[in-house]
Homo-oligomer: A and B are copies of this chain.
């Protein structure tokens, strides 16, 4: 969903550095606003739109239908219903367990039995490019009394987001493609020092509610189908309601850049719990999902250094600095820093699918008397 340079807005299909204007191509009427995609998603027509756009573009598309990407402004592509965020990378959960409970078992007893997750704030999901203001929160720093201060441990989390196009309940994993319409990149910004003080016993709250950034280009599940792969083996096997026959892992390459320095390269195929299992879990208790609900995968981390999807892991909870190509060092994010997530699939003989960018720049904490 974009605004064109003439101020008109509408739904487009992105192809490389161009977008196809669906209204001018007579594929869809001109739709504006955050609900633009809702009808397309709920009606299950995104696949058809993509097909018609592809047909048009395989011929000699009229240049008037195409706009350079630099001439449009992309918006949040759908109104977010409920945002649920998971914790489904074995490497990430193990890394955090080691950092937060040294000497103990890195994984809690429930981790291999269900996709652990929580509800996030839907109203603060923003589109790539939106500045992220450093949050303030109660931080204890080893003291008994916490005080309100700007977070000094601001982090990103490299994730994928899966978008519900058709509602339902008690959805089996192998029915996931009837309900999930596509995927975006997702950065679940986190204030680790705020989280450390607040999170017992009801989980993270203000540490993650200030902003979550998603990429504006919804890649349909149809387009991702060639990249569905078997996820890693699950031991012990989960309860039958979480078992799938079809492969729901996704072979996507993911990358994080901090101020232009590539700091993480990893693959989504390493995720322990799949989005199909997450959806099955979310709805097994009778809860419904609605079009526009967003499911965060949880931070994507690979096994080794260079594959970690958060600064919490890269800096070992702030204990180790790392160096950017400009010679400066970091543990957590500084004001002015820009984090960019990128992801894609294929390219070796298969069509290349890209997710575009999911980027945000940190602006200083708001100055405000209390």
List residues of chain B with CB within 8 A of the CB of A118: 118-119, 202-203, 205
Of the candidate stretches A3-11, A55-63, A139-147, A180-188, the one touching chain B is A139-147
Q: Is the CB of A202 within 8 A of B203?
A: yes
Known: A82-B122, A145-B236, A146-B113. A137 touches B203 (CB 8 A): no
| Chain B residues whose C-beta falls within 8 Å of the C-beta of A109 in the assembled complex | 144
**Can you name the residue of chain B whose Cβ is closest to the Cβ of A172?**
B370
Q: DSSP class of A's interface residues: helix, strand, loop or mixed?
A: loop
Copies in the complex: 2
- Minimum CB–CB distance from A196 to chain B (whole Å) comes to 10
Q: List, in ascending order, chain B residues with CB within 8 A of A199's CB.
A: 201, 203
A287 within 8 A of B: yes
A204's nearest neighbour on chain B, judged by CB, is: B202
User: Which residues 11-47 in A have Cβ within 8 Å of B in the complex?
Assistant: none
29 interchain pairs, CB-CB under 8 A: A82-B121, A110-B138, A110-B197, A110-B200, A113-B138, A114-B146, A114-B197, A118-B119, A118-B205, A121-B287, A123-B287, A123-B293, A135-B286, A135-B287, A136-B285, A148-B284, A191-B285, A199-B203, A201-B203, A202-B204, A203-B203, A206-B282, A206-B287, A209-B285, A210-B285, A210-B286, A210-B287, A239-B370, A241-B370
Residues of A within 8 A of B (CB): 81-82, 87, 108-110, 113-114, 116-124, 133, 135-138, 144-148, 170, 191, 194, 197-206, 209-211, 236, 239-241, 281-282, 284-290, 293, 366, 368, 370
With A191-B285, A210-B286 already in contact, 6 other A-B pairs whose C-beta atoms are closer than 8 Å: A118-B119, A124-B288, A194-B285, A201-B203, A210-B285, A239-B370
